Structure 1
Amino acid sequence: MSLAELRVQSNNVPLGIALMIATTVVFALQDGISRHLASEYNVMMVVMIRYWFFAAFVIAIGVRAAGGVRAAARTTQPGLQITRAVLLAAEICVAVLGFTILGLVESHAVFACYPLLIAALSGPILGERVGWRRWAAIAVGFIGILIILEPGMGVFDPWAIIPLVSAVMFAIYGLLNRYAARRDSTATSFFWTGTVGAVVMTAVGIWFWEPMARADWLWMLTLCITGVSGHWLLIRCYEAAEASAVQPFAYFQLVFASALGMAVFGETLETNVVIGAAIIVAAGLFTLWRERVQG
């Protein structure tokens, strides 16, 4: 059997799409639980406990893999791996803070611009060529962000910048993933993400420890389970189908998280948020399509 035939067989697009949609459901639930817990307890403590389970998950995967944990941790670019792991941990803290201040609807509407930011930053960071069509899509996407944030409507709320900062951080993290992938496997990057993130968040979060109610420990356990299962589904998704085929369906997280925010937390869906989010998603889908065409 040729390599090309093997690749065709492993590219099960319907399965990949189903797994991506399932992933977005799980991550939306994770964001909703994070919003609840971070409203009651310090964000650093919540993220720290979440990372403990994440680290246990990646170590368990490393133990079962060929070569064990030592093989999973082997890298020639530890500085890069540490940087991207710390950046993701910080991004999660910023994102969860945004959920508590702005809610799920508005936070996710702005955060949806991260594919556009990846496209914009891929030139200066990775040296990739960004054509005029993608630059036009990026500009349109940022018009969508302005529509959501309404900077000219009365007194601008500076807290509205939080999800945008989170999106910038996640975009840089995504680009560092691409850079790391030139020399390290996905398993290695995943291992460093979980273990370094756990160490960093423990060093910071342990100072914010506070007693947690028994019912909230159940929510915390559910949060950790959704985090692990979400990452597992995402790994299976990219194993089943090419990323370019399934990535557009990641926008369903915006839909599910917004529905959760309205149904559970009583958030409202403002007209400007709907219009802005639609523009951002359309621009992002165009950017993904251009990357697939050029790839």
Structure 2
Amino acid sequence: MSAPNLSQQSNNVPLGVTLMIATTIVFALQDGISRHLASEYNTMMVVMIRYWFFAAFVIALAARARGGLRAAIRTSQPAIQITRGLLLATEICVAVFGFTLLGLIESHAVFACYPLLIAALSGPILGEKVGWRRWSAIAVGFVGVLIILQPGFGVFDPAAIIPLVSAIMFAVYGLLNRYAARRDTTATSFFYTGTVGAVLMTGIGIWFWQPMAGPDWLWMITLCITGVLGHWLLIRCYEAAEASAVQPFAYFQLVFASLLGLLVFGETLRDNVAIGTAIIVAAGLFTLWRERVKS
């Protein structure tokens, strides 16, 4: 059993913010491509192919690094690493399915609450301090979610719950990244993210195989590349700074994904979605301001 690798931890907020913004750009592009492909092919197959590329990349990367595959596999917390991999793969399937039903704008409007979920859970899971002001911001943010979902008004669309489930799963995944980084290196976390997800998705997705047209293979390759880059940036982000400090900047993904929805997919922005999203983002920005005051 290896000793805890605490050298991976730091609290470099400017670096963490930069990495988070870069992550949101890559993830928004990835979501747009996923929406296109999952509209034409089975979601499980699309995610499976993406994970094949992801797994091949992390295995090749680990083999070339010092210590090789043995060093990448070595962990004192295998349950955490395997859980991370399974959770992310499942969350991706849920999120992409939501894109096909609701579109990018409304899916991301609800999904935008995940940074507030991370801020709320960073105390009990990671031991980071969460004061009453941040709890108030979290409560206000969830009022925004309710405005978007509009429960009790007209006919409630059950599909709107899908991005909320995705947000909860992704929040837990983000916190597990931070937790895992207390003992394991980025290389180890990255290895388990790719390989565990690939095993799960191959076991499921192979049953949903469909022939893919030539041009869509180009989109598939692009999706694979953005998938690798995005999750590498996210792991590095949580190593660089506390989760509660960088989360407000995750809202940039909502902006970039909404632009894609409007300009590429012809989606519309409803009034309640705009108002609810503004409330959620304002609550997140307040948590950033409190972080700066505390610092």
Shift in Å, 1:236: 6.7
Shift in Å, 1:187: 1.9
Q: Which moved more, 1:205-214 or 1:279-288?
A: 279-288
Determine if contact 2:178/2:238 at 8 Å carries over to the other structure. Answer: no
Determine if contact 2:86/2:196 at 8 Å carries over to the other structure. Answer: yes
Shift in Å, 1:276: 0.8
- The share of aligned pairs that are identical, in percent, is 81
1-structure distance, mates of 2:258, 2:115: 19
- Structure 1 equivalent of residue 24 of structure 2: 24
Counterparts in 2 of 1:92-241, with a 5 A limit?
Answer: 92-234=92-234
Cα deviation code 1:118-149 (max 9, x no counterpart): 12223444455432111111110000001111
Determine if contact 2:109/2:254 at 8 Å carries over to the other structure. Answer: yes
- Give the partner amino acid of 1:275: I
Question: CA 1:226/1:138 → structure 2, altered by over 3 Å: closer, same or farther?
Answer: same
2-structure distance, mates of 1:61, 1:290: 39
Q: 1:52 and 2:49 equivalent?
A: no
Secondary structure class of the residue paired with 1:225: helix
- Structure 1 equivalent of residue 5 of structure 2: none
- Structure 2 equivalent of residue 91 of structure 1: 91
Determine if contact 2:245/2:291 at 8 Å carries over to the other structure. Answer: no
- Give the partner amino acid of 2:205: G
2-structure distance, mates of 1:102, 1:278: 19
* TM-score normalized with structure 2 length: 0.87
2-structure distance, mates of 1:170, 1:87: 8
Q: Which moved more, 1:92-101 or 1:19-28?
A: 19-28
Cα deviation code 1:62-82 (max 9, x no counterpart): 122221111011011111211
Question: CA 1:294/1:72 → structure 2, altered by over 3 Å: closer, same or farther?
Answer: farther
- Give the partner amino acid of 1:180: A
Cα deviation code 1:51-109 (max 9, x no counterpart): 11111221222122221111011011111211111011000000001111010001111
Shift in Å, 1:286: 2.2
- Structure 2 equivalent of residue 71 of structure 1: 71
Q: Which moved more, 1:246-255 or 1:147-156?
A: 246-255
Determine if contact 2:190/2:232 at 8 Å carries over to the other structure. Answer: no
Q: Which moved more, 1:281-290 or 1:185-194?
A: 281-290
Secondary structure class of the residue paired with 1:265: coil
1-structure distance, mates of 2:134, 2:177: 21
Q: Which runs of 5+ in 2 are unaligned?
A: 1-8
* TM-score normalized with structure 1 length: 0.87
Q: Which runs of 5+ in 1 are unaligned?
A: 1-6
Question: CA 1:17/1:116 → structure 2, altered by over 3 Å: closer, same or farther?
Answer: closer
Determine if contact 2:53/2:224 at 8 Å carries over to the other structure. Answer: yes
2-structure distance, mates of 1:127, 1:21: 25
